[in-house]
Structure 1
Amino acid sequence: MEPLMPRERAEVAPGAVHVPGWLGLDAQRDLVRACREWAASAGLRSPRLPSGGVMSVRTVCLGWHWYPYRYSRTVDDGDGSPVTPFPGWLGALGREAVADAYGVGADYDPDVALVNFYDAQARMGMHQDRDERTLAPVVSLSLGDACTFRFGNTEGRGKPWTDVDLRSGDLFVFGGSSRLAYHGVPKTFPGTGPEIGMAGGRLNITLRESGLP
């Protein structure tokens, strides 16, 4: 799905930067292959919320295992196995992303990644990424089908918010005064992804610094 007009880099909010087309097709294919390997070794799961509800996205974690709303080194809400290691090359990609988004050299050392898979029905409600012990930026990489990414404010889940069109290869970084902004994915667009080795759906890789020892 080609845009009618070129999509430009945009600062959606202070410290929240959208860089369209940041990953080329070959880099996207490499990441898809990596995601498939991580999912095969660790398994995709749908996290269960404390309320009893089950998230519609399926997730695999690297470096630290996330489950609502904490981190551990083992799959504490599953079979207790050790979490899949966080690869150094992915940390280097995160540093490059932050440096590109903010235009300055980045002292950024991510040690956790959440890989979320969205099928045609999956959504993500408005939430904050606040389980980390540091406010270092979050790096988000999109692969596969396009989605509406809703980026809100730090006070609550309601308006004001901005809806951003995220497509395969896009980079979104949020930090600074926007680090604790509520955000979510109310809609995906099946069949819009390029030929990068995915049969369908959307993959989102988010990189974070946990701040944990």
Structure 2
Amino acid sequence: MGPATMLLRGFALPYVPELLLAITNIEAASPFRHMVTPGGFTMSVALTNCGALGWTTDRRGYRYTSVDPDTGEPWPMMPTVFARLANEAAAAAGFDGFTPDACLVNRYLPGSRLSLHQDKNERDYAAPIVSVSLGMRATFLFGGDARTDPTVKVPLYHGDVMVWGGADRLRYHGVMPLKDEPHALLGSQRINFTFRKAG
């Protein structure tokens, strides 16, 4: 996929019970919501955040904020298990010392998709992106440095962690529309969360 990209199959499986409890607590404080892009498009993926910073979008643009715009309160603190998983997965992929300050938590339902995009609202491109998949299988699209570059289709399963950084940090990526193939634990949904060094 790339010189600085690694897919860690099943890496998150030992953490799953703690992760699901943590997600429930995050959702209670900052519920999932369908954000609107600057172009007026309502995202099919529901989103919330945890950590010192949270990613948000509206008609004014894409950005990170320290406060949840829906609640007026700081985003929930990043759970210890989240930070530990992010650090250990990054180290396994060759990125030692990764300490994220933002985690985007996405909930996909059947038909949800994520169009090709770059993660470029962060200040620190030296840090990797660590992406964790739970629940239904997804087909991840991993492209090049231009939106028109060919993409590789990567199946992602419950417990998989994908890490990319370095020369691959700004590659375009997305998710194809999710098929309704219920997962034994999470049913007809996929939870994906991505760790970043945003500030």
User: Do the structures match in fold with TM over 0.5?
Assistant: yes
138, 141, 147: which one aligns with 1:147: 138
**1:23 to 2:15 alignment:** no
Deviation at 1:49, TM superposition (A): 0.5
C-alpha distance in structure 2 between counterparts of 1:30 and 1:86, whole Å = 13
Deviation at 1:158, TM superposition (A): 2.0
C-alpha distance in structure 1 between counterparts of 2:16 and 2:182, whole Å = 15
5+ long unaligned stretches in structure 1: 1-11
C-alpha distance in structure 1 between counterparts of 2:82 and 2:72, whole Å = 24
C-alpha distance in structure 2 between counterparts of 1:125 and 1:34, whole Å = 27
1:53-90, CA deviations, whole angstroms, 9 ceiling, x for partnerless residues? Answer: 111101110111211311111123x2422211123332
73, 76, 81: which one aligns with 1:81: 73
Name the residue aligned to 2:40. Answer: 52
**1:122 to 2:85 alignment:** no
25, 42, 46: which one aligns with 2:30: 42
1:96-151, CA deviations, whole angstroms, 9 ceiling, x for partnerless residues? Answer: 0011122x7x1211111000000002100000110100010000000000010000
C-alpha distance in structure 2 between counterparts of 1:108 and 1:96, whole Å = 8
139, 150, 154: which one aligns with 1:160: 150
5+ long unaligned stretches in structure 2: none
**1:176 to 2:176 alignment:** no
Task: Output the amino acid matched with 2:74.
Answer: P
C-alpha distance in structure 1 between counterparts of 2:188 and 2:88, whole Å = 28
**Contact 1:146 / 1:190 at 8 angstroms: preserved in 2?**
no
Report the count of equivalent residues: 193
Deviation at 1:160, TM superposition (A): 1.7
C-alpha distance in structure 2 between counterparts of 1:173 and 1:37, whole Å = 25
**Contact 1:32 / 1:143 at 8 angstroms: preserved in 2?**
no
**Contact 2:22 / 2:79 at 8 angstroms: preserved in 1?**
no
93, 101, 105: which one aligns with 2:93: 101
